Amino acid sequence: MDSAYRKLLEKQGYRFIGEHSACKTCHYTASSIAGKGSCYKQKFYGIQSHRCVQMTVAANFCNMDCVFCWRKRNNSPFGKIDDPVELVDRAVEAQLKMLSGFGGNPSADRQKFIESKQPLHFAISLNGENTAYPRLGEFISELNRRGYTSFLVTNGQLPEVLAKIPPPTQLYISVSAPSEDLFNGVDKPMYRDGWQRLLRSLDLMRQFREQGKTRTVIRLTLVKGVTMLPQCAQQFAAMIKRGNPMFLECKSYMWVGTSREKLEKDSMASHEDIREFAKLVGASCGYNLIDEQEESRVVLMMQKDGPERFLKNEEISPIQIGELDAFSRAAATETVIHRISEPVAAAVQNIEQPLFQLKMPKQPVSAATE
């Protein structure tokens, strides 16, 4: 990848674990260990913030140029492709090194610091479009096989990849515009058929839930005065019905980073703005406000709340680093990813049984249309 861009990311706290893959300590991971609060994902889903590895396998590339993105964009070729098995080991190693300083911090929560040495969750997001990584399926397969949970965030521009990879524990599709015109103006996709690609990804999301494959989330990133208009609420609702996610997150765009060069500060909605707009959207698609975190200006919505929204962390027991390296590598080389030519033509098959198996209820086909 571009060396100057890599140096910029390293200055921002990224620790590279490969040619194009990197980790960075999440603000909420550090905050949780320091006893200063946890991520809204812990409040919403039971994810343990202090045991979450925040990473990217595509720091070098994104196929959209969203006006609200706080990251400086600099696309460069992948070049050498990072080995997916090695990335798991290196990510854990990097996480332990980045958090080691808390060992000498007298105000740190000692129990959380000890637990942080054994991560449970991998958040595959951070920077770039991770579905562009050519070996993403093998990487998720390795996480599943070792017993980690995985949370993949995508912009939905590569539905052909979503159709092929083993499902992560939780799949997020970021939706930030409710119509093709706004999508082209706000998200600036590199593909001429970017809007159609997003819709195909939503069709896959619906299929995944019907099959009980994975937990699914649509995240609306909302810009005040641009995508938070009354007519937008109706259009967003139609997209949500199409994807029929288990969870809907409505979150304000945050006026930070390079986005300040493109948007004004008043483009960032207040938490109350988000709550009211979320209710408008929910009223048209059957989703109800379930939870919220004012600090992050985000609300959680579901068709119906239930205990299944919380992960059972006591059931997650990952294989620790170094315990089965030789076996792990052998298994990875034998992995065969089920391929289909048309994204919605057939069911997506899980390529192997993960050590931590979510018990997901299958969703009736008619559920989203009731």
Q: Among 331, 79, 45, which residue's Cα sits nearest to residue 172?
A: 45
pLDDT over 80 at 320, yes or no: no
> What class has domain 3-305+326-341?
alpha beta
> Domain locations in the chain?
3-305+326-341
Tokens representing 200? 């195909």
The rounded distance, in Å, linking the Cα atoms of 306 and 304 is 7
The residues with which 123 forms a beta bridge, in sequence order, are: 54, 151
Q: How do residues 283-294 score in pLDDT, each as one tens digit?
A: 999 999 999 999
Q: Which has more confidence, 321 or 130? A: 130
Q: How do residues 45-94 score in pLDDT, each as one tens digit?
A: 999 999 999 999 999 999 999 888 877 777 888 889 999 999 999 999 99
Banded model confidence at residue 318, pLDDT cuts 50, 70, 90? confident
Banded model confidence at residue 21, pLDDT cuts 50, 70, 90? very high
Q: How do residues 243-271 score in pLDDT, each as one tens digit?
A: 999 999 999 988 777 777 877 888 899 99
Distance, first Cα to last Cα, the chain:
48
pLDDT over 80 at 333, yes or no: no
The rounded distance, in Å, linking the Cα atoms of 221 and 3 is 30
Tokens representing 10? 């390293």
Average pLDDT value for the chain: 86
